[in-house]
Amino acid sequence: MSKFIFVTGGVLSSVGKGILTASIGKMLQVRGYSVSVVKIDPYVNVDAGTMNPYIHGEVFVTEDGGETDLDLGHYERFLDINLSKLNNITTGQIYATVIEKERRGEYLGSCVQIIPHITDEIKRRLREVANKSNIDVLLVEIGGTVGDIESLPFFEAVRQMRLEEGYYNTLFVHIALVPILDVTHEQKSKPFQHSIQELRRIGIQPDILVARCRTQLDKEVKRKISLFGNVTPDAVFTSYDVDNIYALPIELDKQGMGDYIVKRLMLNNTMPNWSEWKSIVESFRDTKDKVKIAMCGKYTKLIDSYMSIVEALKHAGAKLKVSPEFGWIETTELEEDPLSISKLSDYHGIIVLPGFGVRGSEGKIMAIKYARENKIPFFGICFGFQLAVVEFMRNVVGYKEAHTTEINPDTKYPVIDLLPEQKNVMKLGGTMRLGSYKIIIKEGTLAHSIYGCNEVFERHRHRYGVNPEYIPILEENGLIISGISYDEKNVEFIEIKNHPFFFASQAHPEFKSRPGRPSPPFLGFIKSCIERKKAIQR
Ligand code: GLN
């Protein structure tokens, strides 16, 4: 039987609930306990796939093709586990299931209500994940902020779970912001207190309180939070700013959080073994040198839109003892001011990011051309891969009107086109080519030296792909197709000769990158950025 830890947040969003949840998981893992994590997102979308990354951040793709909240990426990276689409629950999914059941007649004769039918479905889903993953502890992070109307049914469901699962099998952790006033440098606990009151009002008394604050909590503030929050002072912790997110579990454990949780859940308190995680955290600190990376995309104002790519680059950097420094290039600006493209020469490497639609796409193509011609390390991911093929077709093969039909459905040379199996797809939610697929790698290629093997699984999220009709002409003109899908239907990797590093992938290798075990293409890319830096210095 699994135990449950529920993590809630107060005052405002983005207080680091996801990182806290992942950190709690880590504290349990290093004590020998198996964990899994569910993220609850109280929006009505069925999944994150149909939301705007500008507002909601990256869509994280799981092995089984779930389009999920970016917090699942944190969980996978911190805990080194693979999650499934079941680990992200939304209001949309819950209501869809209940309404389907109602139509099937499963509630015949009863009036279907939020309590108990919606809350029962929420509890059923949580228990299903716990049972299927066969773990000691299931962590459940409730998205949004306490007090939001839309998250109420979820709070109500977990409140009921305390009664049903028992006191020692459930634990409520509440995190909220403790701001520091600029003028007086005072830590203010009042918003935190109010958010706890909000929780109590709906019947939840938190067991552990975590203050999100720039600095360690002052004794007096901690006392106040403990008093008003109705927990003992040893149950109040601070998630203060750390130099590296991966250091947070160690910091919280130092404050006694791991021991407290284990005791409270009546688990045997084994000695935590931090040695492996500590050496990973140290590797991020041991990076004196920097490499400058141009991140070319259209959501560059919200860095969360590219969370996993940023993390994958950091993982690769830590392995090679450099830290990546990001230059966010809004590619629409390259279109408006074509001469500004020369600023890319300052960088040690260029990434063209995943994306959708017309905005900024010509600017992305300009960046690819610049990287190819000026022999700057280049890594194109998904849309970045597709546009690299378009660029090659236009500027190397010479078909100036080549394009992807995503942007120009009437292009004369549709070198990137809707995947054949997508042609009859009408619904846009959850219908892309999603999740993990096997890629066969050609020997003697850059891809082969990057991965060091003949086949690899990477995760996908796309509707378009290389049009097979154009493969012969692309190859005749020197494009190397170094990876294809196991069923030979999809081009997966491309590269070119006589370039220090020009690699593009239809798949998203960033989703499988882990601290201490960076994704191979990211490692190869950073290696070649370091080479460029050395060459410039010489
Ligand atoms: N828009 C492209 C497609 O649907 C690429 C998607 C992506 O970059 N994830 O195929």
Q: Spell out a b/e string for 424-463, using b for 16 or more CB atoms within 10 Å of the CB, else e.
A: eeeeeeeebbbbbbebbbbeebbbbebbeeeebebbbbbb
Q: What is the pLDDT along the chain (538 residues), one digit of tens a residue?
A: 899 999 999 877 777 899 999 999 999 999 999 999 999 999 999 988 888 777 778 999 999 999 999 999 999 999 999 999 999 999 999 999 999 999 999 998 899 999 999 999 999 999 999 999 899 999 999 998 998 999 999 999 999 999 999 999 999 999 999 999 888 888 988 999 999 999 999 999 999 999 999 989 999 999 999 999 999 999 999 999 888 999 999 999 999 999 999 999 999 888 999 999 999 999 999 888 999 999 999 876 777 889 999 999 999 999 999 999 999 999 999 999 999 999 999 999 999 999 999 999 999 999 999 999 999 999 999 999 999 999 999 999 999 999 999 999 999 999 999 999 999 988 888 899 999 999 999 999 999 999 999 999 999 999 999 999 999 999 999 999 999 999 999 999 999 999 999 999 999 999 999 999 999 999 999 999 999 999 998 8
Which residue, by CA, sits nearest to atom 1 of ligand 1? 356
Q: Is 284 in the pocket of ligand 1 (CB under 6 A)?
A: no
Cβ-contact 381, 325 below 8 angstroms: no
Cβ-contact 313, 324 below 8 angstroms: yes
Task: Give the Cα-Cα-Cα angle 138, 143, 147 (nearest 5 degrees).
Answer: 120
Query: Judging by DSSP bridges, how do beta strands 208-212 and 67-68 pair with one another?
Result: unpaired
Cα 256 from Cα 168, distance rounded (Å): 18
Give the per-residue pLDDT at 428.
87
Rounded to the nearest angstrom, the distance between the alpha carbon of 533 and the centre of ligand 1 is 31
Q: Which residues contact 330 (CB under 8 A, 6 or more apart)?
A: 297, 298, 300, 301, 360, 363
Say what the alpha-carbon torsion angle 466, 69, 526, 335 is, to the nearest 10 degrees: 60
Q: Which residues contact 132 (CB under 8 A, 6 or more apart)?
A: 86
Which residue, by CA, sits nearest to atom 3 of ligand 1? 462
Helices (H), 166-256: 190-201, 219-229, 248-254
- 106 in catalytic set: no
Cα 456 from Cα 266, distance rounded (Å): 42
Q: Is 461 in the pocket of ligand 1 (CB under 6 A)?
A: yes
- 74 in catalytic set: no
Query: Judging by DSSP bridges, how do beta strands 378-381 and 502-505 pair with one another?
Result: parallel
For 124, the enclosing helix (H) or strand (E) is helix 119-133
Cα 206 from Cα 223, distance rounded (Å): 16
Cis, peptide link before residue 420, omega less than 30° from 0 = no
Closest by alpha carbon to 10, among 166, 254, 191? 191
Q: Which residues contact 189 (CB under 8 A, 6 or more apart)?
A: 178, 211, 221, 224, 225, 228
| Domains present along the chain, CATH in parentheses | 3-280 (3.40.50.300), 287-537 (3.40.50.880)
Structure tokens at 419: 């995947």
Cβ-contact 280, 247 below 8 angstroms: no
Cα 310 from Cα 360, distance rounded (Å): 20
Q: Is 382 in the pocket of ligand 1 (CB under 6 A)?
A: yes
Q: Is 354 in the pocket of ligand 1 (CB under 6 A)?
A: yes
Give the per-residue pLDDT at 463.
95
Tokens 């290039």 appear where?
329
Give the per-residue pLDDT at 123.
98
Number of H helices, E strands in the chain: 18, 21
Binding-site annotation, residues for Mg(2+): 71, 141
Angle between helices 307-319 and 520-537 (to 10 degrees): 60
Q: Which residues pair with 38 in a beta bridge?
A: 140
Q: Is 6 in the pocket of ligand 1 (CB under 6 A)?
A: no
Pocket test for ligand 1, best of 386, 389, 458, 508 (most atoms within 8 A of CB): 386
Cβ-contact 300, 329 below 8 angstroms: yes
Q: Which residues contact 340 (CB under 8 A, 6 or more apart)?
A: 333, 334
For 42-124, strand residue ranges (E) read: 60-61, 67-68, 88-90
CA distances from 9 to 156, 248, 302 (A): 15, 17, 21
Q: Taking the chain, what is the end-to-end CA distance rounded to the nearest angstrom? A: 62
Rounded to the nearest angstrom, the distance between the alpha carbon of 405 and the centre of ligand 1 is 12
Pocket test for ligand 1, best of 463, 466, 467, 508 (most atoms within 8 A of CB): 463
Give the per-residue pLDDT at 54.
72
Cα 436 from Cα 64, distance rounded (Å): 6
